[in-house]
């Protein structure tokens, strides 16, 4: 007779709670625990989930951490880190494509689109919204700010990523994570860099929108940067 797993009752109860109430019915560490059921089927994932929360400080930061950092947490292992990254990347990919062909013709729509794309994202990443002449979202390019500002990605590579989409204009989105969306020197430097780049390749610059702390800040709308 097959021996019943010692945690099967707890796992069944947690699954039922999620099915009945969705993510709002579980604490953040329980969502991580539930996710890890499918990557670590024969270990107690409750302790691992608590370790992840202690290491990264929040559910969003744990989900968006890189595989090396995730694997360093006791109990996560290679399979756990791979599964977490896979779930996060699939979610980001889905959010990118959810707005494709949608007309983002005004500031409120652009802010809403970026706020949704940046859900759970860490700070210091930027999304390049490539828009058609009818303000339809053609594609989204996500890049780390540091990679651009430190010159790891050349102006030629940035230009190629925009031109490949066939964009008539671009809206730049910057994530501040849970911090307030107040422009920082690096935000202004990035905006200036994109302004010069897009002008050189003949692509319009719609706006630069900073998202963080549940709100957004439009540089064009505030007059914080001359477009």
- At 120-131, the pLDDT tens digits run 777 889 999 999
Q: For residue 20, what are its two tokens?
A: 């009945």
Does the pTM surpass 0.85? The reply is no
Is the pLDDT at 100 greater than 60, yes or no?
A: no
Give the pLDDT confidence score for residue 172 in this predicted structure.
Answer: 97
* Structural domains of the chain sorted by starting position, each given as residue range(s) with its CATH number in brackets: 8-94 (1.10.150.20), 102-222 (3.40.140.10)
* Residue owning tokens 């977490």: 84
Residue from 30, 65, 64 nearest 48 by CA: 30
| pLDDT band with cut points at 50, 70 and 90 for residue 79 | confident
Give the pLDDT confidence score for residue 44 in this predicted structure.
Answer: 86
Residue from 155, 171, 164, 166 nearest 133 by CA: 166
Q: What is the pLDDT of residues 137-171, one digit of tens each?
A: 888 888 889 889 998 889 999 999 899 989 999 99
Give the pLDDT confidence score for residue 94 in this predicted structure.
Answer: 58
Distance CA 221, CA 211 (A): 14
């Amino acid at each position: 007779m097959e021996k019943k797993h010692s945690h099967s009752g707890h796992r069944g109860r947690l699954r039922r709670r999620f099915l009945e109430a969705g993510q709002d019915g579980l604490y953040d560490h329980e969502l991580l625990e539930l996710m890890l059921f499918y990557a670590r089927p024969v270990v107690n994932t409750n302790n691992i989930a608590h370790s992840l929360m202690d290491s990264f400080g929040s559910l969003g930061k744990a989900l968006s951490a890189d595989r090396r950092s995730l694997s360093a947490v006791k109990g996560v292992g290679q399979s756990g880190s791979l599964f977490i990254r896979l779930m996060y990347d699939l979610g980001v990919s889905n959010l990118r494509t959810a707005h494709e062909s949608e007309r983002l013709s005004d500031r409120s729509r652009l802010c809403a689109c970026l706020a949704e794309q940046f859900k759970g994202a860490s700070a210091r990443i930027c999304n390049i919204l490539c828009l058609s002449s009818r303000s339809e979202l053609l594609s989204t390019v996500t890049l780390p700010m540091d990679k651009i500002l430190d010159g790891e990605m050349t102006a030629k590579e940035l230009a190629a990523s925009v031109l490949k989409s066939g964009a008539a204009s671009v809206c730049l989105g910057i994530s501040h994570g849970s911090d307030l969306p107040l422009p920082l020197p690096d935000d202004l430097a990035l905006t200036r860099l994109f302004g010069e780049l897009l002008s050189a390749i003949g692509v319009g610059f719609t706006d630069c929108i900073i998202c963080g702390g549940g709100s957004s800040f439009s540089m064009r709308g505030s007059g914080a940067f001359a477009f």
